Structure formats: structure tokens, C-alpha cells
Chains A and B, each alone.
Chain A
Amino acid sequence: DAGVIQSPRHEVTEMGQEVTLRCKPISGHDYLFWYRQTMMRGLELLIYFNNNVPIDDSGMPEDRFSAKMPNASFSTLKIQPSEPRDSAVYFCASGERSEAFFGQGTRLTVV
């Protein structure tokens, strides 16, 4: 397996634009997590899914953020409209009970 695949690796966008981050989890994993990492706040859990169903989205900052998992092999995190304070590295991770692997992350810069 190629591991957790995230795209794009880097994204630079203007304030107000819509941004969509993509994640392909490891096949067979039943959990998928979206995290945001910044110097100020460290790693923050945004939302996670179990068997494609959102379990806890209490970490999603505000209504501008939304996440979907239409099937077991794909998830998206959308920010609309984006703001400069959304600039961060966004990680997707997938796992089972005793393991969880992260993707390479998407570095988002909103100017």
C-alpha cells in the first residue's frame, strides 16, 4: 500500500477563495482523521470518521470548514471562504485500533 495520500502537497490561494484538500486513506482502515498543525496551536483534531460516518466534528473551527467521506477510499476537507488565519499544514490520517498513519500533509497558505 502506498500509505495515506494527500493532495495537493502545497496550496497557495487568495483570501475568499474556496480550497479543497483531498485524502486517500490506507485500504482497510476504518478510521480517518483530519488535523491542522500550526506553530501557535500545535496539532488540532478537526474531525474524524469511522466507516465513512463523521463521529466528532467539534474541532471544526467554524461553518467555513466542511468535510466529507463519500466512500472508504476518499475524503475531502473544504474551506469556503478561506482566510489568512487558515494558513497551516493540514494532515489526514487513517488507522485501525492499534495503528494510525499520517499522510504527507498539505501546506496551505492563504494570502
Chain B
Amino acid sequence: AQKITQTQPGMFVQEKEAVTLDCTYDTSDPSYGLFWYKQPSSGEMIFLIYQGSYDQQNATEGRYSLNFQKARKSANLVISASQLGDSAMYFCAMRESGTGNQFYFGTGTSLTVIP
């Protein structure tokens, strides 16, 4: 079974609007962490945001927020007020404490911001 599922291969959003990128995960480990990364066309992987499985509140970092729904095993990334520079691939990832903190990545979502 896939550990991380990103069902949206591509997304479009109008500049200045908000967009939600979906991510669901599969784990039986009670202790895990969820991450989002941005990969622009230049190729680097940029760490955006982290959510721990025991965190009570949704993580936020500037215009990024993580909509963490533990019972549904989803960790969607919300980008508010989209900018042209947000156009990139976005990867969701998970680390499980029980598997020695190995990193599992989804297949990514390509986001295009339209002016």
C-alpha cells in the first residue's frame, strides 16, 4: 500500500486566490511527522511546513498552512493568496518513528498559478 497518496497530478489557481493540495497517508504508527516540500523548475527541494502527529493545532508558516485531519489521515497543504512564484511541484512526505524515521514521499502535485 502507498504510504503517501497525492491524487492531483496537476492543479491551476488564479493569482491571489487560495489553493488546497491534497495528501493522504497510511500508517499504524502513533508517532509520525508530515512534511510538505516545494520543488520549483530550478530543481531544489524547499522545506515548507511540518506537522507532528501529536500536535494539537494545525501548523502554519506564513501563507502555508497544513489542514491536519488525523482521523481521516489527511494532511492537505493550503496556500493562501497565491503568487506566480508558487508555481512548482509540491511533495507531501511522512516520517514514522517506528520505521527508524524513514522518509516516504508522494508522487507530487504540479501547481500552476495563472496571472
Contacts and interface: CB of A to CB of B under 8 A. Distances in A.
Contact of B103 (A33, A50, A98): A33
B50 A99 contact: yes
A100 B43 contact: no
Given A45-B103, A48-B102, A98-B33, A93 B45 contact: yes
A31 B99 CA distance: 13
Contacts of B33: 97-98
Contacts of B105: 42-43, 45
Given A102-B47, A105-B44, A56 B100 contact: yes
Given A42-B107, A43-B91, A99 B47 contact: yes
A42 B95 CA distance: 18
Main SS of chain A's interface residues? strand
A89 interface: yes
Given A45-B105, A98-B50, A105-B43, 13 more contacts: A42-B108, A43-B105, A48-B101, A48-B102, A55-B100, A56-B102, A89-B43, A91-B45, A93-B103, A97-B52, A97-B95, A100-B103, A102-B45
Interface of A: 31, 33, 42-43, 45, 48, 50, 55-56, 89, 91, 93, 97-102, 104-105, 107
14 contacts: A45-B102, A45-B103, A45-B104, A48-B102, A48-B103, A55-B100, A91-B45, A98-B33, A100-B35, A101-B47, A102-B37, A104-B44, A105-B44, A107-B43
